[in-house]
Amino acid sequence: MTETPAHHALWPAPVADGAVHATVTVPGSKSVTNRALVLAALAAEPGWVRRPLRSRDSQLMSDALRALGVGIEETVSSSSAEGAGGEAWRIIPAGLHGPATVDVGNAGTVMRFLPPVATLAAGDIRFDGDPRSYERPLGQVISALRTLGARIDDDGRGALPMTVQGGGALEGGTVEIDASNSSQFVSALLLSAPRFNQGVEVRHTGATLPSMPHIRMTVEMLRAAGAAVDTPEAGGEKNVWRVAPGALLGRDMVVEPDLSNAQPFMAAALITGGTVTVPDWPRRTTQPGDALRRIFTEMGGSCELTDAGLVFTGTGKIHGIDVDLSEVGELTPGIAAVAALADSESVLRGVQHLRLHETDRLAALTAEINGLGGDVTETADGLHIRPRPLHGGVFHTYDDHRMATAGAVIGLAVKGVEIENVGTTAKTLPDFPKMWADMLLGEAPTGAGA
């Protein structure tokens, strides 16, 4: 277990004193926001991104695009063609240029989606970030871009920091890539592909491909922007995606709520036998978080999609689960937290790639739940969780937002849990402590960026 840094104050996780009954407006999806920003920046005409997520990851993306010459005007609107009022960003494409420095923080979407964009800029683009970003996999994207004609100086590391020597264009073509560690490797190449001279044909060569819903999200958003995309789902060759060269259209896009960030609030209803309503839950979506409806129902809850949104209700009884999370790995920390409070064992499978996320999430969950008296064992591809009576203690987050929310979930039922660096939730869920407190008071908090 790690030491708590002096500058990271401990946050006492509130204990629920009864059933939670609240409406929680969840901020916009980080995955959709950052993809929308990239596509709008590469378009041939201005576009709008409405109800974007305002968080550290989306701020890093918008700051990086501004550094490359893209105009982003932040406004508040009362309405749009989609009927969506609230915050709106007008994206004004421009000739991408350097020299510039991009701070990726520890955002996978920024460190992977923007190097292909940088190849289209005129000038050198330097990429740097948090210390953890140096350890996260990037070599497959770097080698793929070199195959497609890019010049990249990474001192042979296959990782950050690095410099993309932008030539104002990229030839493109066919490339093989092993995306077993992250579906973002595929999405990174697809998003910029319409601007490559030959487009791109991406062939995944690895044995597994995690988080497929995120690739489907990329494909749907590309098509909405006017790109021609051939996919395995559309009858194309297995593990092959093709994007034709062509102009992207400036669109008026409304960002969905981040369904994965609804997880801790739904977990609160499950654990306390309460009810949480999440407004604007889409009836059809590519977001991995939509799987929570099925998974948390299996674990003891029930849900209904209504005009008010998703209404999720718990009984206070939590059942263990044996589940393959390979397509929805980001949900693992929250599911593990709930499973630690269940009435039977759980096996979470298919998530070996989580060892390479913001932190090694499998090792972190094992250490922190066991530190509170739990019995969690790492397996080759996941976790085996045997519920035990838990006690208070410090729950370390490793600068990982989903570790912080997982600790808060356990704290609902266990007195004395203290979260180290709860502020890391700002990565995708700003104002989480206030939202959590409002939920427990039965109020209707409004998430930032909603």
Residues labelled catalytic: 330
DSSP state string for 329-341:
GGGHHHHHHHHTT
Number of neighbouring beta carbons within 10 Å of residue 103: 17
In order, the DSSP letters of 370-415 are: HHTT-EEEE-SSSEEEE------EEE--TT-HHHHHHHHHHHTTST
Helix (H) or strand (E) holding 176: strand 173-177
Determine phi and psi for 79, rounding to 5 degrees. Answer: -165, 170
Helix (H) or strand (E) holding 118: helix 108-118
Buried b (16+ CB within 10 A) or exposed e, 81-95: eeebebbbbbbbbee
Count the neighbouring beta carbons within 10 Å of the beta carbon of residue 107.
28
For residue 215, CA distances in Å to 62, 202, 221 come to 21, 12, 10
HSE of 34, CA atoms in CB hemisphere, 13 A: 28
Residue 331's nearest CA partner among 450, 211, 445, 195 is: 211
C-alpha 285, offset from chain centre: 15
Structure tokens at 237: 């060759």
Q: Is 415 exposed, middle or buried (0-12, 13-18, 19+ CB in 10 A)?
A: exposed
Side chain identity at residue 404, one-letter code: A
CA 157 from chain centre, in angstroms, equals 25
Kind of pairing, strands 393-395 and 71-77? unpaired
Burial of residue 306, with CB atoms counted within 10 A of its CB: 0-12 exposed, 13-18 middle, 19 or more buried? exposed
The answer to whether 195 and 42 are in contact (CB under 8 A) is yes
What is the torsional sign of CA 369, 427, 8, 160? positive
By the 8 A CB rule, do 152 and 163 touch? yes
Between β-strands 162-167 and 152-153, what pairing exists: parallel, antiparallel or unpaired? Answer: antiparallel
